[in-house]
Amino acid sequence: MNDGDGTLEAGSQGRKFGPLGTALVIIPTYNEAENIKAIVGRVRKAVPEAHVLVADDNSPDGTGKLADELAAGDDHVQVLHRRGKEGLGAAYLAGFRWGIEHGYGVLVEMDADGSHQPEELPRLLTALKAADLVLGSRWVPGGRVVNWPKSREFISRGGSLYSRVALDLPLRDITGGFRAFRRETLEGLGLEEVASQGYCFQVDLARRAVKAGYHVVEVPITFVERELGDSKMSRDILVEALWRVTAWGVGERVGKVLGRGDDRQPRPETRQSEPAAEQPGRKPGRSVQDAGHDAEHVAEQSEQETKQPEV
């Protein structure tokens, strides 16, 4: 459905929860030292009440240390230090777990390189009041990309179209990574079953949300190509996305032939979520160590510690 301003909705019956609670903006990083200060500053200015979690994959360029310095001066900024480079999906899953465990009501995905505009975050959060998941979309009316070569736009549009057709999903931009989730939505998606680690992770979450009957909305955004640092896109990421989407699509069609029918579920029962408790004032410099897929451990910095804990 198109309501005239470029906003598209997948599904007409979605859950409406109670107060959203505090938002946590999760920013995965790997060698983003040139960008991290600017993007965190823009998020804090755009949505001052939101908290930021930098999930750093042990960046050799010192991104994690810079994030710790930001956290030392702002109790709305947290850092999750991870063992090493395990992929975008793994970083987000760790961030989701951390956010859910700490009582956040809204969890947001955002790139560190400035391609997602923090100034558009209020639009996503406003749309989330009437949805379970909001996708920032480059391909709905009003959405656009800036400084992209035609070849890159062709690949992105083609990937979204292929995923949409293969998986029978009513979404224009299924590969984008600027998103806002209700906590309850993430809790209902079976995150422990998500295996994809690259950008296909985004397709997987959108697919799961639609199939589970959640109310998914797309709002237009402007995607700006990074100016600093190197893109993390690679041939391996594209190959993973192609084979996983194809496998999912074939599996669904085989299931229909065998009589299992469409795996879409009726919309989940409406539940009123308790307002997430406001995050207590945190001591400057707090960071968290992520022990891979097992557990996260909070590490408080004492006055004697340096500004580089293990994000």
The domain segmentation of the chain, as residue ranges, is 8-262
Q: Quick check: 131 and 14 in contact, CB under 8 A?
A: yes
Pairing of strands 222-224, 51-56: unpaired
Task: Give tens-digit pLDDT for 156-176.
Answer: 777 778 888 888 899 999 989
DSSP 94: H
Tokens of 35: 């960008």
Q: How confident is the model at residue 3 (pLDDT cuts 50, 70, 90)?
A: very low
Euclidean distance between CA atoms 158 and 311, whole angstroms: 35
Closest of 102, 43, 95, 39 to residue 66, by C-alpha: 39
Lowest mean pLDDT: which of 11-15, 83-87, 187-191, 228-232?
Answer: 11-15
**Architecture of the domain delimited by 8-262:** Alpha-Beta Complex (3.90)
Higher pLDDT, 260 or 201: 201
Task: Give tens-digit pLDDT for 80-125.
Answer: 999 999 889 999 999 999 999 999 999 999 999 999 999 999 999 9
Model pLDDT, residue 103: 96
Tokens of 224: 């700006």
Closest of 248, 261, 251 to residue 194, by C-alpha: 248
In whole angstroms, how far apart are CA 215 and each of 70, 89, 128, 272, 293?
Answer: 35, 22, 10, 15, 29
What's the residue count for the chain? 311
Higher pLDDT, 222 or 250: 222
Q: Which residues of 235-250 are buried (b: 16+ CB within 10 A; e: fewer)?
A: eebeebbeebbeebbe
